[in-house]
Amino acid sequence: MAFTMRSSVQGLSSSFASFRSASSWFELYASFSTFMMLFRTAVNDLIPYQLRSLIVSKLKSLLSERQSNSLVTLEINPYWDGQRNLLYHAAKEYLPERIIHSYKALKVGKLEKHKNVVLAIDEKQEVVDEFEGIKLLWKLTQSVKDQDRKSYDNVVDDSFVLSFDQKHREMVMSKYIPHIFHTHEAMKTERRIVKIHSLSSRHWKKSDLSHPATFDTLALDPELKQSIIDDLERFLKRKELYKKVGKPWKRGYLLYGPPGTGKSSLIAAMANYLKFDIYDLELTRVSSNSDLMRAMSDTTNRSIIVIEDIDCNKEVHARSKSSKASDFDSDSDSESIPKTAKVSHRFTLSGLLNYMDGLWSSCGEERIIIFTTNHVEKIDPALLRPGRMDMHINLSFCKPKAFRILASNYLDIQGQHPLLEQIEEMLEKTEVTPAILAEQLLRNEDPDVALAEVLKFLKEKEDRAVSI
């Protein structure tokens, strides 16, 4: 046997020496296979079975112990000291996004007010997640606890177990877990149902915002639309800057223009884009400054405060210098009010200004305040300065680029159409609002007929203007 093994080794060496030829690879494989077979036979003959089993078991135990010593496990329960464990609930919604396309064991359901079906991981299957080149193992565990000894009802207590290599501990704690929270917040924002709140008897009543307006469907000049989006994005990213310079994290917009130019649609588009709730503040329902502050303190962060048709409120009209009933602004914008006036018992312009940039303005953050008006000249200048109304947006009559968006929305017209150029020429010299044009487009589903009617309408409007 020794002679045979020695011959095999020699054959193996000669094969390595002549491996350049094609046939040498086959000879190498045959020699190696023969060597391994003879070696296995020698081991079986020389080492008893009991000893071999003992060696194998020791090696397995050593490897298993070494692996377990390098493995860290984190148990994540639904509650912590009687409070909801936010990490558990974030992981519960984060993990299904990692398994939807590859895993076979899933829990599926449909909940009220959810557009799509909801998914959850099953305790039968482990979930492997990857983050910055490391692998993390998730597993859902369940234990049944008695709810009441006198009852047959049981409570199923779920928890997550997260396992990873010890060397990744710092990255998991400092980066991966915050990553779960950030992803979860983005998911909540994406599927959040925007609410609209109206003031009634000093309390806000809310309902779902059903307005479908988006920036894609908004009939605005593309350049103006993009400037609004860019301004909103800058506002969202500047929390630390606002804090650094000592300003409340809020932004003011003034939307002005004739009726029907899309002010309400723009507000809805902003809310749907940001996923901010709308608080529709009717000043006619506010009887005093204290009512105003109470109502504003009940609004939430990440919200849009809307005051429509602000020019219709007498307290915010441009004030005469001789008016003794005028309200005061804390700055030099306006005159002071007589000391005998009891402004706390009625709604005043100063109360509104104090909410916008006075001490009360710091109550809440990441808020947007929007004023709308059809007559900007009637508004007190104190309301319009930067810091209160930061961006003034003129929503004027419909122009050619905006009409193309209307034609796409209502008639699915993409690109060129024989009548579009004629309509655009008319729009350059005819003042007509998007709302009126939208009503014209709704009258007929056939694109050719609808555009012909719009062109006819514009020509008739121009003729009437000339005759006057």
The per-residue pLDDT for range 64-115, each reduced to its tens digit, is: 555 556 788 899 999 988 899 999 999 988 888 776 555 666 677 776 666 6
Please say if the pLDDT value at position 202 is more than 50: yes
**In this prediction, what percent of the chain has a pLDDT beyond 90?**
36
Please check the confidence at residue 207 and state whether its pLDDT lies above 60: yes
The pTM of this model reads 0.68
Instruction: State which H helix or E strand residue 408 sits in.
Output: helix 400-411
Which pLDDT does position 220 carry in this prediction?
Answer: 93
Q: What value does the mean pLDDT take over residues 206-225? A: 92
Q: Which residue has the higher pLDDT, 246 or 410?
A: 410
- Tokens, residue 109: 């359901």
Residue 125 is predicted with a pLDDT of 72
What is the pLDDT confidence band of residue 394, given thresholds at 50, 70 and 90? very high
Pairing of strands 203-208, 303-307: unpaired
Rounded CA-CA distance 383/352 in Å is: 9
> Mean pLDDT across the stretch 393-412?
93
Given a cut of 60, whether residue 333 has pLDDT beyond it is no
CA distance 96 to 84: 20
Calpha distance 451→117 (Å, rounded): 41
- At residue 127, the pLDDT reads 84
Return the minimum-mean-pLDDT range out of 93-102, 185-194, 364-373. 93-102
Q: Is the pLDDT of residue 151 over 70?
A: no
Query: What b/e string do you get for 193-232 counting C-beta neighbours within 10 Å, with b at 16 or more?
Result: ebbbbebeeeebeeeebebebebeebbbbeebbeebeeeb
Confidence band of 152 (pLDDT split at 50, 70, 90): very low
Percent pLDDT > 70 in the chain is: 74
pLDDT tens track for 238-282 = 989 988 998 889 999 999 999 999 999 999 999 999 999 999 998
407 vs 14 pLDDT, higher one: 407
Mean pLDDT computed over every residue of the chain = 79
Distance between CA atoms of 95 and 90, rounded to whole angstroms?
9
Residue 25's pLDDT band, with cuts at 50, 70 and 90, is low
Find the mean pLDDT for residues 334-354.
56
Residue 256 corresponds to which amino acid? Answer: Y
At residue 337, the pLDDT reads: 39
Q: Which pLDDT value is given to residue 365?
A: 81
| 94 contacts 129 by C-beta, under 8 angstroms | no
